[in-house]
Amino acid sequence: EKEKDICSAIFHETTIPKLTAAILNEFVREKSEFLLTSVPGLINSNDVTSLKKAFDLFMRLEDYSMSKFIEIFKNDFVQHGLE
């Protein structure tokens, strides 16, 4: 249930207005090499279901809270001039 709530929050446009499947894809790819080696093809898709599964696994692996994830994302936006 918690994971479902996290995914809902991630994909709700008011949580992070500029979040897109492509950005999430890059974030997961960048932050977790495990996904690349253990779940081939999963995050190479822009399919939202696949990305949610990848994010789900990433959350369990890295044990990030939602607030930490948003904090990291906002920092990335600022660094890349996207905000």
Mean pLDDT score across all residues of the chain? 55
Residue 82 has pLDDT above 60, yes or no: no
Looking at the chain, the whole-number percentage of residues with pLDDT higher than 70 is: 0
Q: List C-alpha distances in Å: 18 to 9, 15, 47, 57, 75.
A: 13, 9, 17, 22, 13
Residue numbers of the domain that contains 72: 2-79
Number of domains present in the structure of the chain? 1
Query: For position 8, what pLDDT does the model report?
Result: 59
The predicted model scores a pTM of 0.25
C-alpha R_g of the chain:
12
